[in-house]
Amino acid sequence: MSTLPGLRPANPRFSCGPTTKRPGWSLDALKGAPLGRSHRAKLGKDRLKQAIDLTREVLQVPADYRIAIVPASDTGAVEMAMWSLLGPRGVDVLAWEAFSKDWVIDITEQLRLDDVRVMWGEYGHLPDISKVDCDRDVVFAWNGTTSGVRVPNADWIAADRKGLTICDATSAAFAQDLDFSKLDVTTFSWQKVMGGEAAHGMLVLSPRAVERLESYTPAWPLPKLFRMTKDGKLNEALFEGETINTPSMLAVEDYIDTLTWAKSLGGLKALQGRADANAKVMADWVARTPWVEMLAADPATYSNTQACLMIVDPQVTSHSERAQADFAKSVAALLEAEKVAFDIASYRDAPAGLRIWTGSTVEASDLEALLPWLDWAFVQCKASMRKAA
C-alpha cells in the first residue's frame, strides 16, 4: 500500500492524555472565566461549585456522596485518599498496568503498611479479582490507561464489605458504568474523557469514606494538600468549592464548558455511547487486520476509551524487543509527520505498540479516516525494516 490514503482525519489528536477537546471547541468557550479574580471571591466559588454540581449531574453521583476539586490531577486525588484513609485494615491492591503499579509503590514503600496483599496482572490481563477480600481495604484502577484493560463490572465487590474501596477511575469516568454503591473513593482528572486541562483532580467520597476520615487519624504526618478534615470533622467547605490551593479558573471554565456540552448531548449515556461506538470502530478493524492485535487478552475487558495495540506481524516480531519497539515508534512518527495522528505511541512503560484514544470527545469519523493510514504506515515501515536488514 504505497499510495497515500485519500481522506485524512479532520482532527488528528488521538492522544490518551491530555485528550482531544470536545467537537466544536474554541477559545471562545472560555470567555466567561473570572480571570484576575480570587477563587475565594463569590464569583470564583460559584464557578467552582457549578463544576462540582455539573459533575454530580452528568456523572450521576449519589446525592449523599461528597465531591471535591483537588490539586495534582488524578494522582493527587488517589494519594490524598491513600494517605488519609489507609492504615486501620489490611489492604488488597490490584496492579496490571503502569499507574496501578505506582499505587503499589506508594502503599508498600512510602506508607510502608504491614498487611498488604499485592495482586499482579501482566499487561493485557486483569489479576484474579475473585481473590479480593472486601473486608480489607481495596485499591484498584477501574480502567488501565496504559493497557486498555478494564474491570468488566463491580460484581466482585461485596455490597456488605467492611473495608473501603479506593478506585482510580481517571480514564473510565464519564465513559464507563461506575457502580458508586460499590465505590467509596472515586478519583479522576479532567484531561481524560472530558478533554479538559491538566493539574486538577476530582475526589468523590461515599458516606463510609467520610466516616473513616472522621474516626481514624493516620500515624504519619499529612501535608496540607492532603488534609480533608478540620478538628476531627470533614472539612465541608472543600466539597463546596473552597479548594485547598489556587485552581486555574481558566481550566475550571473549560471543564464547565465540556460538562455543559455533555448535558446537551444527553448526559452520561450519550457520552458512553460515543465511546462505545468509537471502540467498536477500532475493534472491528483489529478483527480484520492481520498485523495487529489488542493488548487486552479478553474481549470482556476491552476498554472503550483507548485501544492499546500490539504489532504481531511475524516479520516484525522475529526481531529483538528493542527493534520491535523502534518499529512501533517509527509507525507513530510517520503518522505524526503526515499530521494524521498525534501522540499514539504506547506508554513508555507498556509493551511496544500503539495506543489510540477512543473516548467520548473523539469523532468516530476521524477514527474511520485514520484506519487506512495505520495500514499505510505499517507497510511503509515494514519496507524500511526489510531494506535495513
SS (H, E, C) the chain: CCCCCCCCCCCCECCCCCCCCCCCCCHHHHCCCCCCCCCCCHHHHHHHHHHHHHHHHHHCCCCCCEEEEEECHHHHHHHHHHHHHCCCCCEEEEECCHHHHHHHHHHHHHCCCCCEEEEECCCCCCCCHHHCCCCCEEEEECEECCCCEECCCCCCCCCCCCCCEEEECCCCCCCCCCCHHHCCEEEEECCCCCCCCCCEEEEEECHHHHHHHHHCCCCCCCCHHHCCEECCEECHHHHHCCCCCCCCHHHHHHHHHHHHHHHHHCCHHHHHHHHHHHHHHHHHHHHHCCCEEECCCCHHHECCCEEEEEECCHHHHCCCHHHHHHHHHHHHHHHHHCCCCECCECCCCCCCCEEEECCCCCCHHHHHHHHHHHHHHHHHHHHHHHHHC
pLDDT (tens digit per residue) in 259-313 = 999 999 999 999 999 999 999 999 999 999 999 999 999 999 999 999 999 999 9
Q: Which of 17, 24, 55 is nearest to 195 (CA)?
A: 17
**Which one is the CATH code of 27-264: 3.90.1300.10, 3.40.50.300, 3.40.640.10, 3.50.50.60?**
3.40.640.10
Q: Cα 165 vs. chain centroid, distance in angstroms?
A: 17
The x, y and z cell numbers of residue 212, run together, are: 473513616
47: left (phi over 0), alpha (psi -120 to 50) or beta: alpha
pLDDT (tens digit per residue) in 295-306 = 999 999 999 999
Q: Which of 102, 258, 261 is nearest to 191 (CA)?
A: 258
Q: What is the pLDDT of residue 388?
A: 86
CA dihedral for 222, 225, 231, 233, sign (positive or negative):
negative
pLDDT (tens digit per residue) in 51-63 = 999 999 999 999 9
The pTM of the full predicted model, rounded to 2 decimals, is 0.97
The x, y and z cell numbers of residue 170, run together, are: 481517571
Positions in the chain whose pLDDT score sits under 50: none
Q: Which residue has the cell 531494506?
A: 387
Cα dihedral 320, 325, 331, 334 in deg (nearest 10) = -110
What values do phi and psi take at 288, rounded to 5?
-105, 5
Q: What is the pLDDT of residue 389?
A: 75
Whether the Cβ atoms of residue 20 and residue 11 lie closer than 8 Å to each other: yes
Q: What is the pLDDT of residue 1?
A: 60
Helix 268-288 to helix 249-265 angle (10° resolution) is 80
Q: Which amino acid is at 175?
A: A
What is the CATH superfamily name and number for domain 266-388? Aspartate Aminotransferase, domain 1 (3.90.1150.10)
- The C-alpha atoms of residue 74 and residue 306 are separated, in whole angstroms, by 17
Helix 268-288 to helix 42-59 angle (10° resolution) is 60
Whether the Cβ atoms of residue 237 and residue 49 lie closer than 8 Å to each other: no
Q: Which residue has the cell 484474579?
A: 128
- The C-alpha atoms of residue 101 and residue 105 are separated, in whole angstroms, by 7
Listed by start position, the domains of the chain span 27-264, 266-388
- The C-alpha atoms of residue 95 and residue 100 are separated, in whole angstroms, by 5
